[in-house]
Amino acid sequence: MKIMASVSGYTGESVTLVGLIDPATGVLAIAKSVKFRDVGDEGFAFVTNTRTEAYDSLFTEEHWAQAIRDYVIAQGCQTLAIADAASRWAPRLETDGVDEKGQKYRLPEDLQNGEVAVLAMVHFQQRQRALNTADDAMDEWFDVVMV
């Protein structure tokens, strides 16, 4: 699945990143940044933080905490690859202690649009994995019922 994430409103220029999720492994590969778009290209899932005329996933600040956890997990499980051409947008997370919910992280005050785009893409990746898992479970359940 090809993905395009466009983010604006934070520090720096507005950014559009492109990548893909390998259907066999679930790995998200973020390839590069391209000229900013407020509408996704044909054949791409479009993730954005602005309410444009057409998008597949709206990424808002209420998703940030989960997106940060998703990013840390994706790094640890090696289900995220950021190409050199997009590496400048790797989110700069700082550990900020531990509480009853687990590790806490702090984002920099000058958070860049590209960093938010990476978080949006990883959040989308994890949501897709959950949907695929549920779909697979329903297929298995249907097979059992039909026996």
68 is in which domain, residue-wise?
Answer: 2-145
pLDDT of residue 48: 98
pTM (2 decimals)?
Answer: 0.86
pLDDT tens across 52-85, in order?
889 999 999 999 999 999 999 999 999 999 999 9
Q: What is the pLDDT of residues 1-38, one digit of tens each?
A: 999 999 999 999 999 999 999 988 999 999 999 999 99
Residue 111 has pLDDT above 90, yes or no: yes
Q: Can you say how many angstroms the Cα of residue 42 is from the centroid of all Cα atoms in its chain?
A: 19
What's the pLDDT at 26?
A: 92
Q: What is the CATH number of the domain that holds 12?
A: 3.30.420
Confidence of residue 100 (pLDDT cuts 50, 70, 90): confident
Report residue 129's pLDDT band, with 50, 70 and 90 as the boundaries. confident
Q: Are 39 and 52 in contact (CB under 8 A)?
A: yes
Give the start-end residues of each E strand in the chain: 2-7, 15-21, 28-34, 44-48, 57-58, 80-82, 94-99, 102-106
DSSP conformational letter for 39: S
Q: For the chain, what is the domain count? A: 1
Mean pLDDT of 101-130: 92
Neighbours of 131 (CB within 10 A): 10
The CB density around residue 105, as the number of other CB atoms within 10 Å, is 16
Q: Cβ atoms within 10 A of the Cβ of 56, count?
A: 13
